[in-house]
Amino acid sequence: MGAPTRGAPRFISRQPPGTPSRPRRFRAPNGATAAEWPSARVLRCRHAMSRNAAHTLHGFAPDVTEMVPVTVPERLDELQRRYDVGPPIGEGGMGVVHRVRHVMLGRDFALKLLRPEHAADPQILERMHREALSAARVDSPHTVEVNDFGRLSDGTPYIVMELLEGRELSDELQREARLPWDRVAGIALQCCDALSKVHREGIVHRDLKPENLFLVDRPGGEDFIKILDFGLAKVAGSASLSRAGMAIGTPSYMSPEQCAGEATEASTDLYSMGCVLYELLSGRPPFVEASYSEVLIAHITKAPTPIDELVPDLPPEAAALVMRCLEKDAEWRFESADALAEAIRGVDLGIPERSGTRRIPESRRRGAPIALPAPAEPSNALVWTLALALMGSVAALSAAFVLVRPSTAPPPPFAASTAPQTFLLTTDPEGAEVRIDGASRGRTPLSLTAEEASAGEVELSLEGHAPRRLRLAPEVRGTVRVYLDPEP
């Protein structure tokens, strides 16, 4: 199966196939003329029921008369007492979105409802309920407002949501190729504001990506972001959508723990946010591989190309915060969305990241630096297992991605090597001088043999930062990363 691509065809249907319907007249409510209903603009609305979960919406009241012929499914008759229901403005394989106007309030909304054939699927029902619950619990101008949730008499669930006019961030990126830091910073701060409130409610979004970030049209043209699609959200106190050992999300933006089917926390969203920032700035996600399974493996085993190599004019502090979001170990990422926002503001002010946003966990500050094991090349069995799981998941969840995590088998024994064992010593920030027993060995990142590094005391020094002294074990392998605290 190929890697995800942009620009997939949008829907062009006005009526859900196979839905019983009859012609009826649509009346513009409250005496409004049809000219007062949008007809020339292109709108976009979101729902998690199609492969793309993104659809072009067209105005549905031609600017001709007050009485416009409209075809509306009979099953929506019961909603007509509260809403004037227009024809579909968006649809996918799992559901349909109608534009509606509240009869008493005269306000427009988006009505999302499942197709009848999916109304009995418990997992799809749970996703729709979770989307409504999550959005309703979060009080933020940067999440979509949910106004109503219920079921039709035939059991079909529906959500009445805020109707948005604008475009997806992915469309903006496709048009612009990449965005400048100043603009990305403004978008990121709005996302952080929303995520801070989302996480305080015990919710993890788990599917942050440019397609789920919506640029709302506003006077003056300034960027105003809405985070969409909480259908995959993990909600504290709710049943899990996935079993242990299963991964769920969109591969290009999934954290290593998501890819491995492990527990997800707020730091998962911060990793995904790092993927989004990386793509907005460079024009490509952190990992561009030949297939979905290889993308998953890369998130777990590979280091992304440093963002400043792709965007040389990026402020160093901005590059550092993006790469920190992409740390494999969740403990090395930012502690919260608020901490990420503080780091972003620090870049805007032209000051280096402060210790408040680059705080080292207490358990690591006093202990030895962590040695990350060198990633082993994934076995063919793992690749095939991931690929097969992917094929099944696309049919099951469309926009979501589900796979069964294979059991970890010990690698076959290898003959002992007589070559010196090396590892990579790096610091954050990089460029620290490395001395072993007083003798200078170079600056980080620096490749050393385990034998020479463990022979004496290692001292790391960088102007403007407190020096670090440490001793390394002879068994050190892979990458050793040491954070340097700024001087008081």
Residues serving a catalytic function are: 207
User: Residue 205: helix, strand or coil by DSSP?
Assistant: coil
At residue 34, what are phi and psi to the nearest 5 degrees?
-65, -25
- DSSP notation for 119-145: TT-HHHHHHHHHHHHHHHH---TTBPP
Report the candidate in 162, 68, 52, 153 with the shortest Cα–Cα distance to residue 107. Answer: 162
Contacts 24+ apart (CB under 8 A), 151-154: 152/75, 152/76, 152/78, 152/79, 152/113, 153/75, 153/78, 154/75, 154/116, 154/119
DSSP 369: P
CA distance 152 to 154: 5
Number of helices and strands (H, E) in the chain? 12, 24
Residue 156 CA to residue 149 CA, distance in Å, equals 11
Closest CA to 138 of 64, 73, 227: 227
Residues found in the chain: 488
In whole angstroms, what is the distance from residue 328 CA to residue 330 CA?
A: 6
Say if CB 428 and CB 324 are below 8 A apart. yes
Phi, psi angle pair for 215, to nearest 5°: -90, 110
Q: What are phi and psi of 342, to 5 degrees?
A: -60, -40
Considering only CA atoms, give the Rg of the chain: 26
Structure tokens at 483: 């954070």
What is the C-alpha separation between 482 and 4, in angstroms, rounded?
35
Tokens 């227009």 correspond to 86
- Residue 480 to residue 444: CA distance in whole angstroms: 11
